[in-house]
Structure 1
Amino acid sequence: MPIVRQRYPSNWNEISFAVREAALWRCQHCDRLCFRPGEKPKTLTRSEWTMATLTVHHADFAPENNNFDNLIALCAPCHLALHARTKRSNVSPGQLSLW
């Protein structure tokens, strides 16, 4: 997901890492085991590696709300599908959207 850094706290990387660690690097929707930072196998293509990248979703679609119970670890495909399915996004006005 594209990130507009101004909408996230300065410690977002640490918050995001903690959420993914708590989920044991598994998607909380499809249970796919994802790669930890630095684990990208050299044999994977960029698209294969992206499919196994764990992201953090804001349940209320507000990046400013970083309460732990609002954050969900999702693999990239599940995260994109959720945004497309709900027709909701945290994309700022004027920012390119993929759906």
Structure 2
Amino acid sequence: MTSKTRSRYSSNWDTIALEVKSKSDWKCTRCGIQCLRPTDKRDGLNRRERSIKTLVVHHWNYLPEDNRIENLAALCTGCHLLFHTRRRGNISPGQLSLW
């Protein structure tokens, strides 16, 4: 994430994102995959496997400033990538890489 993109997020974004992920029980709300919790051991998982099982928070309206709960969804990186690729040009370099 670039510093320009990061500056669009609220100063308490990490807390907001953690709450959204916790409410989803660390599962993707689109495909249902169980993602890694911060306390889960990552031993034995390669970088790609860790990336696939990483849960992120998506803004439905693509505006990082809008943190209304109805605008946020916990998604695995694959599903997050799907939503962002549908909106051409909406991916920052390295933002959603699975490898």
Same fold (TM over 0.5): yes
What's the offset of the Cα at 1:13? 0.3
Asked if 2 retains the 8 angstrom alpha-carbon contact of 1:7 and 1:64, the reply is yes
Asked if 1 retains the 8 angstrom alpha-carbon contact of 2:85 and 2:91, the reply is no
What's the offset of the Cα at 1:90? 6.7
Q: In 2 relative to 1, CA 42–74 (structure 1 residues): closer, same or farther, beyond 3 Å?
A: same
CA RMSD of aligned residues (A): 1.8
Q: Distance in 2 between matches of 1:52 and 1:79?
A: 12
Deviations 1:33-85 (A, max 9, x none): 00111314210001001100000000000000000110000000110111012
Q: Distance in 2 between matches of 1:90 and 1:50?
A: 16
Q: Distance in 2 between matches of 1:47 and 1:76?
A: 11
Equivalent pairs, count: 93
Q: Which contiguous aligned blocks of 4+ residues in structure 1 show a shift greater than 6 angstroms?
A: none
TM normalised by structure 2 equals: 0.84
Q: Give runs of aligned pairs for residues 1-99 of structure 1, distance below 5 A.
A: 2=1, 4-87=5-88, 89=90, 91=92, 96=93
Identity %: 39
Q: Distance in 2 between matches of 1:90 and 1:18?
A: 24
Could you list the runs of 5+ residues in structure 1 that have no partner in the other structure? none
TM normalised by structure 1 equals: 0.84
